[in-house]
Structure 1
Amino acid sequence: MSAADTRELLIDAALRAFAEHGIHNASLLEITRMAGQRNRGAVHYHFGSRERLLLATLEAPAAILGTRERELLARAQEHSEDDVAPVLEAVIRPVVELSENGWRGRCYLKILAEVAYEARTTMSAPVAALIAETGGYEVLEVLSRRLPPMDDAVRDERFALLARFVLDSAADRVPADGSAPGMGIDRFIANLVSMASAMLTAPVPD
């Protein structure tokens, strides 16, 4: 087996483990076992650290999301300056589309939800740079200009909760048993956009 093949097996195992147990709690030894590797140090040999393994799980989907989100964001900016729905669709539609691409896409969204929520407190520069590739920060910048007046603390809290809500909702759309989702993709997206719009524009508490 080539080194590239081994890396792919470890990445697939890490996707499952990070999504199920969390990026900090997943066992590197268990990831090694799931990948069918006998060398207990396989993760460190091929990636060097837990963080570099995390980066490897995020890299390819981040580029896919970034291309799609920027395409939709360009369209959204043709709408009224106070219309948040098309901007939200620019981030929601790509992640829901990714959830349709099998278990890898759904695991990625679970991991991204955890990383995005933790961004409020701590995120290394390499992880932040990779998250930036998804285009999500660009969407939030446009949203900030279209939201009703609110202080930074409330806005940032809403953005953090929104990211987790949207990503988890998209990841959980397809039932674990593989049966068909209860709602078609376009209606699911429209409903999620409507709920997210209400979340962001809700009255600001005193």
Structure 2
Amino acid sequence: MPRDARATKERLLWAGARLFARDGVDAARTRDIVALAGQGNDSAITYHFGSRRGLLEAILRAGVERMEPVRAAALETLEAGDLRGVVGAIVGPIADELLSEDGRDFLRIVVQVAGQAGVRTHSVPLVIQGTAIARQLEMLEEICRGFLPEELALERISVFIAFLTAALADRSGREDSLLGHETFVADLVEMLTAALDAPAIGSRSPAGPYRVKTSPRGGAVR
């Protein structure tokens, strides 16, 4: 790609991320993205990315690729069955996006599309197919299905993603945080691990509320 075209594409990526984060993925105006990128033609997005959706996917892919080296390295040391270790490996790299302006924009975008993660339907989003984060999520499912019924395991992982992305997006825009970054991340890992490992709800009793079934390790039994 010629240098000028590459520079234009990078400016559109930056402008798209800034306005998708600030105004919302659906509400940000294409003309404003193009203008912020210093372009005079609204077709610039179509030319470089195929569509507005293509621009969004390119922004998400750039964020995933930014975290990929750390995630790939973590895969080499993760142990099967280590719930806290896998949660920490998932949380750490995306939480570190809080440390840069581009990363904070990325987090404000991710929370808007977190519901499209496809966990409940086993449909891996195109932007993470074949990546280390996809493998980490597979490991998380394998662990959770070891002590939870499949439908409950998938539901918890979906909520895990929603909680994680919402917590990071919230912190990305706050100036009154009580915890330093490392403490915040460590606490987030502990909370999410505990949520995934909580006792499962059993079948409803005809006479009252749901019964909790637990195993000796604090997880659920079928």
Give the TM-score of the pair, scaled to structure 2: 0.76
Deviation at 1:68, TM superposition (A): 1.0
Deviation at 1:150, TM superposition (A): 2.4
Q: Which has the higher helix share?
A: 1
1:75-129 CA distance string (max 9 Å, x none): 231xxx54311110001111111221x2211111232333332133999x9x923
Contact 1:175-1:181 at 8 Å conserved across structures? no
* Letter of the 1:93 counterpart: G
1:153 and 1:4 map into 2 onto residues whose CA distance is: 45
1:201 and 1:183 map into 2 onto residues whose CA distance is: 24
Q: Which runs of 4+ in 1 moved over 6 A?
A: none
1:17 equivalent in structure 2: 19
2:65 equivalent in structure 1: 63
1:53 equivalent in structure 2: 55
Structure number with greater Rg is 2
Matched-pair identity in %: 31
1:36 and 1:189 map into 2 onto residues whose CA distance is: 37
**Between 185-194 and 51-60, the greater mean CA deviation after superposition:** 51-60
1:202 and 1:173 map into 2 onto residues whose CA distance is: 25
1:136 equivalent in structure 2: 133
1:140 and 1:2 map into 2 onto residues whose CA distance is: 38
Contact 1:62-1:131 at 8 Å conserved across structures? yes
1:197 aligns with 2:193: yes
1:46-92 CA distance string (max 9 Å, x none): 22211221122123321222221232233231xxx543111100011
2:184 equivalent in structure 1: 188
Deviation at 1:156, TM superposition (A): 1.9
Q: Which runs of 5+ in 2 are unaligned?
A: 204-222
Q: Which has the higher strand share?
A: 2
Match of 2:171 among 164, 170, 173: 173
* Letter of the 2:159 counterpart: L
**What's the secondary structure of 2:70's corresponding residue?**
helix
Aligned 1:91-110 pairs, distance under 5 A: 91-100=90-99, 102-110=100-108
Give RMSD over aligned pairs: 2.8
